[in-house]
Structure 1
Amino acid sequence: MYILFDIGGTNIRVAASPDGSTYGEPITFSTPEKFDEGIERIVDAANILRSGIAVSASAGGVKGPVNPKEGVLLHPPNLPNWKDKPLKERLEKEFSAPVFVDNDTAIVGLGEAVAGGGKGHAIVAYVTVSTGANGVRIVDGKLDRNAYGFEIGHHIINWNEKTQCTCSDTPTWQHPEAFITGSAFERRFVKKPYEITDEKIWDESARILAVVLHNVIMFWSPECIVIGGSMIIGTNGPVIPLDRAQTYLQHMVTIFPKIPKIVPAELGAFGGLHGALALIRSKLEEIV
């Protein structure tokens, strides 16, 4: 029995896989502010789902930078009381089984690469633009190696001016996350993104997204880019027009003969659970 979890800033999902290939209906609950309560709720949900069957391994993602080896949250932006807490250690003690933890974007991206929009491609870049912005590179169905995860929403796109970003208490050289995310829209325009109907704002966002995608292509050289998040595929109102971003991108990429395939994410809210299952499979293969 494998236990899968997806720890977001708002909700936590826990699911069980009896065979390592599929999983059943997840249990979803609001993310507790306190770390100990969060662990307790995850374990309670897992115990319900496994019905007394021993846990062989567990895996999942959590919002913010993570030390994958130690399974410690380094700077969770929406979970300050979870910072520096031993997530991996606590769950391993509770489950008496190995636990694998990584950044939530990385896990969702892995899920999209193996079971969603990137399926069938050897080198996949996943990019998400939602409340925040981030991305991950997946090669041959496995997360690309890294020291502290990936934080592409905080690469610098303008070093001539500074703007307030979520990663710092003081203004930084300009990052994509400070312009095209949901939190950036609320700060810049004092409105929810779905309330904004000014085409110029959405066109500017498409141009900035194109810059982000250009840099992803230059840094990671993917065969396919899967792009998700509420600012791209949301259903509550206007979103960043991906087709317009691709038009801008066509004129930006000059060193490669063509841009890679760009597709929307397919797995929705369950990408993290698919990714957790894929992470377990890849980690157990390494152990063997």
Structure 2
Amino acid sequence: MIFWKEDSPTVLTRPPYLLFDIGGTKIRMAVSLDGKNLENPVVVGTPRDFNQGMQVFAETAKKIIGQNTINFVTGGMAGSMDGSKAQIFNSPHLPDWSGKNIKKAIGEAIRAPVLVENDAAMVGLGEAMFGAGKGFRIVVYITLSTGVNGSRIIDGKLDRSSYGFEIGHQIINFDAGVTGGDWGRGELEDYVSGAAINQRFGKLPEEIEDESVWENVTKYLAYGIHNVVVYWSPEVIVLGGGVSKRISLERLLNYSDEILTIFPSVPILKKATLGEMGGLYGALFYIQNFGLN
């Protein structure tokens, strides 16, 4: 019998797996008993308090695991991680989670080895391998949810980085960053994220019917698309997250075409197809192939 301990080496193991996706608003979780399919998927709210969050995680996991013994746990976490992918460096929409060792906490709760990646990276991997990005060699995924972030997947592998990617924090309005005010630091997230839209209009994005609001959000997003294209040069850009549902791809393509002049054309723009399960599918692929990523 193999006993888990915090410093146990990370080795490829056989299912059952516990898969998770911890976002700024929701925790998604499932098990894979055969290493190929998702079973017992569940979605619960993400507590703002870290300790309460870990309690909810453990209780939810216990319900869906049942009598099975989990051999490995992997998933995505909202926010930037330290170099070891163990400690949350900064989670802007879950500030109490920042500075916490999420890998250790989950490992102690489940008693199994754990791998953690950024949540947008996991969803992007899922969409690249099983969803809207399937069949493309260079895929960029952008999530427009509580916050904004993205990832690049090349030939089925997550692009390497020191601390992950945080594309929502690219500055698109320098003047706002200097003067502050309603537009925060002038970052892309300050203009197109669900949290920013809620703060500005006092409504959840799905409650806003004014098309002029969405026209402006689309214009701002086009500048983010431009920057992603010139930095990452993808074949396809996949948009996911709740806010993306209100974005017209036709209008976004038109604005992006007007802005982008250095390349012949804007990459293909698509909407994500895996819905709430994108990060879990990405985690499943990751655990099967993490030695390659």
- TM-score interval for Structure 1 and Structure 2 normalised by the shorter chain: 0.7 to 0.9
Paired position in structure 2 for 1:120: 135
- Greater displacement, 109-118 / 188-197: 188-197
> Is the CA contact 1:67–1:102 (under 8 Å) kept in the aligned structure 2?
no
Give the corresponding residue for 1:202: 214
Measure, in 1, the Cα distance between the counterparts of 2:208 and 2:106. 43
Q: Deviations over 1:23-57 (max 9, x none)?
A: 10223333334433433443343344344443322
Query: Is 1:240–2:255 an aligned residue pair?
Result: no
Q: Distance in 1 between matches of 2:64 and 2:247?
A: 38
Provide the secondary structure at the position in 1 that maps to 2:103. helix
Contact conserved, 1:12 with 1:28, CA < 8 A, in 2? yes
CA distance in structure 2 between the partners assigned to 1:131 and 1:187 by the alignment: 11
For residues 198-277 of structure 1, what are the structure 2 equivalents within 5 Å? 198-233=210-245, 239-277=246-284
Q: Secondary structure at the match of 2:174?
A: strand
The CA distance in 2 between the partners of 1:48 and 1:194, in whole Å, is 31
Give, in whole Å, the separation in 1 of the partners of 2:123 and 2:149: 11
**Residue deviations 1:159-189 (CA, integer Å, cap 9, x gap):** 23334589xxxx42x1111112222223333
TM normalised by structure 1 equals 0.86
Matches within 5 A, 1:5-16: 5-16=20-31
* Cα distance change, pair 197–24 in 1 and its aligned pair in 2 (3 A): closer
Equivalent residue number for residue 171 of structure 2: 156
Question: Residues of 1 paired with 2:39 and 2:111: CA distance?
Answer: 22
Question: TM-score scaled to structure 2, two decimals?
Answer: 0.85
* Residue 32 (1) aligns with residue 44 (2): no
| Residues in 2 aligned to 1:285 and 1:155: alpha-carbon distance in whole angstroms | 29
Please tell me the residue identity of whatever aligns with 1:215. Answer: N
Letter in 2 for 1:228: G
Matched-pair contact (CA < 8 Å) for 2:77–2:118: yes
RMSD: 2.3
> Within 5 A, what are the aligned runs for 1:166-205?
171-172=184-185, 174-205=186-217
**Does residue 92 of structure 2 align to residue 80 of structure 1?**
no
Farther-moved stretch of structure 1 (154-163 vs 103-112):
154-163
Q: Secondary structure at the match of 1:14?
A: strand
CA contact (8 A) 1:111 1:274 kept: yes
Q: Counterpart of 1:282?
A: 289
How much does 1:68 deviate? 5.7
Aligned residues: 276
Structure 2 portions without partners, runs of 5+ = 1-15
CA contact (8 A) 2:136 2:235 kept: yes
Q: How does 1:52-91 map to 2 (within 5 A)?
A: 52-67=67-82, 69-91=84-106
Q: Give the conservation status (yes or no) of the 8 Å contact 1:124–1:138.
A: yes
Q: Report the secondary structure of 2:239's partner residue.
A: strand
Distance 2:154 2:138 in 1: 5
Residue aligning to 1:236: none
Provide structure 1 residue ranges, at least 5 long, that are not aligned to the other structure. 234-238
Retained in 2: the 8 A contact 1:127–1:136?
yes
Q: 1:140: how far off? A: 1.6
Distance 1:36 1:199, change over 3 A: closer
